[in-house]
Structure 1
């Protein structure tokens, strides 16, 4: 990569534009969760269709992140960054103008393509702007922009839904992406690395198709049945495609997806921990907004604000993680963070329809702390075990597997919630068609209860949803506990930072890799 010989006076302006782009991508991971109940009401979306609206973005994002980084290396990072922001902008426009569920799913998939290009390239252009002594600070600022977007998403989404129609959660991206494009055009120098591996279109297709088939099977199973021939066929297809991908990449001289990295024990188990944390986090962010809106009766903005305890706990713990790792070592901190997360999820599973928000705020705060203390050290630990010449491919693999964990979390936990809700909902006395619609989602059940003047249906919907959410939280708790045991048993013992002769140098390296 090219490094600067004299500082570019415009570099901080360029950094500001990159931060704005990453901020937009950050809150796009969470902004739709708050909008889903409103969209379900306006578009008549079932729980399965809501899962697709959330997952279309994440699946495409995960499948294309590795080839997107390589495209930037080969054809110019600035050029591909502009292309990525342009695609993201176009997808946002399609989403804002969408009139049905299918159009929203397509828009989210297009936005996923753009996000996959922007995410790896926003960091890879920094060496061309900043000298080594400023680079760590710049990487930290860009990473912070992405992280800050997570808690901002529900609040911005809630405010927009309180004042405008649901399409505004897409439209907000347009000026942000446009600013990013202009900044790239006028402020960023062009850099490339022609020696990087070529993009393997077959591997890219296998990744996207394998993930898509797996997510399709998981989302459709509650409606069609787990023994349905189409569902079984899609599961089998996913296994075949993913196995073909692994075999192809293992034989490649310069693999795009470097599976050999998983031979490093520290990388494998830290990555597994980070992936399971994203599985739990994404699942929670999918099931909580309908509970806060439909069951507790808060508006969209109120819902966004009430998610802040989890985001606050996450950010505080993420900031505190580094000094705690320096004191106790990464293995202890990751394991303890996962145990805290498991405790919070199991505590949350005790929620009833009458619990109120106070109890929810309590366990959400604890869950946020568990997320922060497990995710940040796990990611730093994963990359810290790799040789420097494989840090780039390791970072790509880690980010890809994290996104896969998030996509499967939404699909699997959303499907568990959907099937439980439908089974527990009491639709006695309703016509068959109306009863079927009421079982689509808690929002649909409340709409029908309101039209029919049935207090009993509303109470049953709340009870069925909270029961389903409790089961989801039990699964989350068990997954976090299993991850904690794996981390405690298999993560390598890491030297404490205080024993390092240069503690001031070690900490920024970990930050830079996050």
Structure 2
């Protein structure tokens, strides 16, 4: 396919692509600040809040690889337009939803759209830009994806302060519509008929296996780990994921190329990146209710108060490359994970009376640890692979990262739910009110408002204390996970100093260009 590097519209096309990826980026985090509001307005329990967050991530993780292959085979522009259309429909359904289950379904639909758009955003760049401009274009697209994460809580908080909760979904509609119009008018169509066929069996195994695992983890605190349905779901998840691994090892052109994990550098950098996403996703799930329900900030105030973490990430993103060049990837990733572990252990010491200053301190350290560990780990994971495996390696790495995030929300959210319910004092409450109060800290505060004057203050104080205790347990587990990852990185990562190729997205773009 001939490139259109001389077409002045290419920068407009890039702008529309950036807007689309920015929307997908902040949709990963925009719901976090809305969860307490949804808990109050729709009566969503902690488990249902986990599903609202995870429905998007699970579908996204399961479909990202097949979506990229669909774009290669049937046209990247066509699949981008289709993905943005699906995302737009899911956002409309979410905005108009009247109950929790509809919101969860809408988030799953949005996950399908996001899975189609994300891998193809980079793949269309070679048809727009020549080699001399492509590095700049790739950098802009990558920055847009990253910038969406910190923007999510702030945009979500501002919308919730001025409009109803459905506005966090409705904001996506004009952005997706602009993206669709730009794709139709500005993007050329490109294909790669030689790419592997989409393996529907592997896709089904990925989605059902991951879905069963997440379901079991989320339901376990309510039903109990020994419950027959939970045990059955865990057993089914193990069987389905084992079947997926066996199938992918046997097919000639696998979607999930497991042989990449034989590269030590790729394997342990990927493990580090996945554990970092596990920690970060769990943190972003448990923090907003603490800032809103316990400390009493509004939605916008909550979004703004997450900024120290984003500030830490920005500082690390600027300073990590020279540090990697000076000290090597192993030292940088290990040190980043140690800082992340320290921040989590520090955060686990939070009490009801700690106040925001202490939270801002450990959040800043969390951002630094995240930036120094995740970015070099991802760059190194792909840098250890042969150049012709960069595309498949990137797909596997991104999929495992999303899986880490989904399991982080499910496992850490369930841990929080169990710890909160065990510690909450519901003595003297009617059975139904006690059950409702145990669903989440927001629900407990709503029950307290309806309780008698003497009981209200006691229940609210107990809810705050129980939530902070649960958050402390979660942060302790996060710290242990980060410390284990640090030890693995220090022991097993290749120790050669010098930055590996930081242009891995560009390498992927060049590969796509070579196939045109």
TM-score after normalising by structure 1:
0.97
Hey, what does 1:96 align to over in structure 2? 95
Hey, what does 2:447 align to over in structure 1? 448
CA distance in 1, matches of 2:72, 2:59: 20
1:386-415 deviations in Å (ceiling 9; x for gaps): 111111111000000000000000000000
1:51 equivalent to 2:41? Answer no
Given that 2:268 and 2:492 are in contact with CA atoms closer than 8 Å, whether structure 1 keeps it comes out as yes
How does 1:213-252 map onto structure 2 within 5 Å? 213-252=212-251
Hey, what does 2:426 align to over in structure 1? 427
1:109 equivalent to 2:76? Answer no
Between the two proteins, the alignment pairs up a number of residues equal to 506
What SS does the corresponding residue of 2:198 show, helix, strand or coil? coil
Deviation at 1:53, TM superposition (A): 0.4
How does 1:132-151 map onto structure 2 within 5 Å? 132-151=131-150
CA distance in 1, matches of 2:502, 2:38: 43
Given that 1:139 and 1:512 are in contact with CA atoms closer than 8 Å, whether structure 2 keeps it comes out as no
Deviation at 1:425, TM superposition (A): 0.1
1:151-186 deviations in Å (ceiling 9; x for gaps): 110000000000000000000000000000000000
Given that 1:266 and 1:381 are in contact with CA atoms closer than 8 Å, whether structure 2 keeps it comes out as yes
Structure 1: gaps of 5 or more residues:
501-505
C-alpha RMSD of the superposition: 1.3
1:299-330 deviations in Å (ceiling 9; x for gaps): 00000000000111112212221111111111
Given that 2:391 and 2:508 are in contact with CA atoms closer than 8 Å, whether structure 1 keeps it comes out as no
What SS does the corresponding residue of 1:8 show, helix, strand or coil? coil
Deviation at 1:508, TM superposition (A): 4.1
1:118-141 deviations in Å (ceiling 9; x for gaps): 000001000111111111111110
CA distance in 1, matches of 2:386, 2:94: 42
Hey, what does 2:407 align to over in structure 1? 408
Tell me: CA distance 1:161–1:512, structure 2 relative to 1, closer, same or farther (3 Å).
Answer: farther
Given that 2:387 and 2:507 are in contact with CA atoms closer than 8 Å, whether structure 1 keeps it comes out as no
Hey, what does 1:126 align to over in structure 2? 125
CA distance in 2, matches of 1:31, 1:5: 35
The correspondence for 1:482, drawn from 473, 484, 501, is 484
Given that 2:134 and 2:506 are in contact with CA atoms closer than 8 Å, whether structure 1 keeps it comes out as no
How does 1:123-272 map onto structure 2 within 5 Å? 123-272=122-271
Tell me: CA distance 1:37–1:491, structure 2 relative to 1, closer, same or farther (3 Å).
Answer: same
CA distance in 2, matches of 1:168, 1:266: 43
Given that 2:214 and 2:410 are in contact with CA atoms closer than 8 Å, whether structure 1 keeps it comes out as yes
Given that 2:125 and 2:138 are in contact with CA atoms closer than 8 Å, whether structure 1 keeps it comes out as yes
Tell me: CA distance 1:250–1:356, structure 2 relative to 1, closer, same or farther (3 Å).
Answer: same
Given that 1:59 and 1:407 are in contact with CA atoms closer than 8 Å, whether structure 2 keeps it comes out as yes
Hey, what does 1:4 align to over in structure 2? 3
CA distance in 1, matches of 2:5, 2:144: 26
Tell me: CA distance 1:376–1:242, structure 2 relative to 1, closer, same or farther (3 Å).
Answer: same
Tell me: CA distance 1:433–1:406, structure 2 relative to 1, closer, same or farther (3 Å).
Answer: same
Deviation at 1:447, TM superposition (A): 0.6
CA distance in 2, matches of 1:367, 1:229: 38
Given that 1:266 and 1:385 are in contact with CA atoms closer than 8 Å, whether structure 2 keeps it comes out as yes
Hey, what does 2:513 align to over in structure 1? none
Tell me: CA distance 1:485–1:460, structure 2 relative to 1, closer, same or farther (3 Å).
Answer: same
Hey, what does 1:466 align to over in structure 2? 468
What SS does the corresponding residue of 1:71 show, helix, strand or coil? helix
Hey, what does 1:395 align to over in structure 2? 394
Given that 2:90 and 2:107 are in contact with CA atoms closer than 8 Å, whether structure 1 keeps it comes out as yes
Structure 2: gaps of 5 or more residues:
510-516
1:288-308 deviations in Å (ceiling 9; x for gaps): 000000000000000000000
Given that 2:324 and 2:497 are in contact with CA atoms closer than 8 Å, whether structure 1 keeps it comes out as no
Deviation at 1:495, TM superposition (A): 3.4
1:327-367 deviations in Å (ceiling 9; x for gaps): 11111100000000000000000000110000000000000
1:77 equivalent to 2:98? Answer no
Tell me: CA distance 1:200–1:358, structure 2 relative to 1, closer, same or farther (3 Å).
Answer: same
Given that 2:122 and 2:505 are in contact with CA atoms closer than 8 Å, whether structure 1 keeps it comes out as no
Tell me: CA distance 1:513–1:488, structure 2 relative to 1, closer, same or farther (3 Å).
Answer: farther
Tell me: CA distance 1:167–1:344, structure 2 relative to 1, closer, same or farther (3 Å).
Answer: same
CA distance in 2, matches of 1:121, 1:345: 35
CA distance in 1, matches of 2:269, 2:345: 23
1:172-220 deviations in Å (ceiling 9; x for gaps): 0000000000000001000000000000000000000000000000000
- Range moving further from structure 2, 471-480 or 129-138: 129-138
CA distance in 2, matches of 1:461, 1:6: 59
1:7-36 deviations in Å (ceiling 9; x for gaps): 221111111001000100000000000000
CA distance in 2, matches of 1:456, 1:494: 58
CA distance in 2, matches of 1:13, 1:137: 15
